[in-house]
Amino acid sequence: MPLTTGQILHDRYRIVRLLGQGGFGAVYRAWDVTLDRPCAVKESFELSPEGQRQFLREARLLARLSHPHLPRVTDYFTLPGQGQYLVMDFVEGQDLEELRARAGGRLPASQALPWISQVCDALSYLHRQTPAVIHRDIKPANIKITPPDQDYPHGRAMLVDFGVAKTFDPALRTTLGARAVTPGYSPIEQYGQGTTDARSDIYALGATLYSLLTGEVPPEATARAVQDTLIPPRQANPALAPELEEAVSRALQMKPSARFQDAAEFKRAITE
């Protein structure tokens, strides 16, 4: 049953409004009445034993993370017969999809690159966890830019929505948890055609940067596997530097072995 505006959840969280909803859950803006601050409440509709175990794994996974470009998880609880809930920092600001649309479809490289570099830092942190954490749903709508402040005069990039974040098991050469894809941003291996690992996030971040710089979403990876119709970045936006085109194109290689092998390498390629 959907939560309603004004409802007090778990004797602590007052629901402000629904932010988004899908088949498996919903996310709400809420107010923590104990600490007197805004928060985000993620609700899982999955009440099966395996679904509950997966959500608890996610909560434990995210609760141990601490990075300036990732929201913190602050609470987790279950309401029997109703759902499971994850409470996270509420990130103020607009996402890159909104900013891109407001700018007429694409952003100048001088604006986009610092934010993507910050996301690279967040990915480097996630990928060196033990086991590695793979985000698996990087796209413009999942990168929020906070309002400017003293430390970040142009706003800080925050990688949000860990709904499909996964731990990577090198022994199994796979990720633990459910699959999900976003056409245009998910690499071919996320469709079940190969191993998903840190390089899958590199592809998605490359697709994100491509869309920000060109105003176009890359073709879906399954279509590219049949006939690659990806428009070269400088053909879509001649103002781009050749070195930047080369970096974006490498991140978007179909074969994981041909991509940047880690986020730090990608960051160097787009900033140096």
Give catalytic residue positions.
137
Backbone angles phi, psi at 157, to 5 degrees: -80, 130
Non-local CB neighbours of 187 within 8 Å, separated by 6+ positions: 196, 199, 200, 203, 204, 221, 254, 256
CA gap 10, 85 in Å, rounded: 10
Closest to 76 measured CA to CA, from 94, 95, 63: 63
**Strand 13-21 relative to strand 83-89, pairing:** unpaired
End-to-end CA distance of the chain: 51
Closest to 181 measured CA to CA, from 141, 134, 123, 137: 137
CA gap 258, 235 in Å, rounded: 22
Are 155 and 93 contacting, i.e. CB atoms less than 8 angstroms apart?
yes
Helices of type H across the chain:
49-63, 96-102, 109-127, 198-214, 221-226, 233-236, 242-251, 263-271
Are 94 and 144 contacting, i.e. CB atoms less than 8 angstroms apart?
yes
Closest to 163 measured CA to CA, from 24, 16, 17: 24
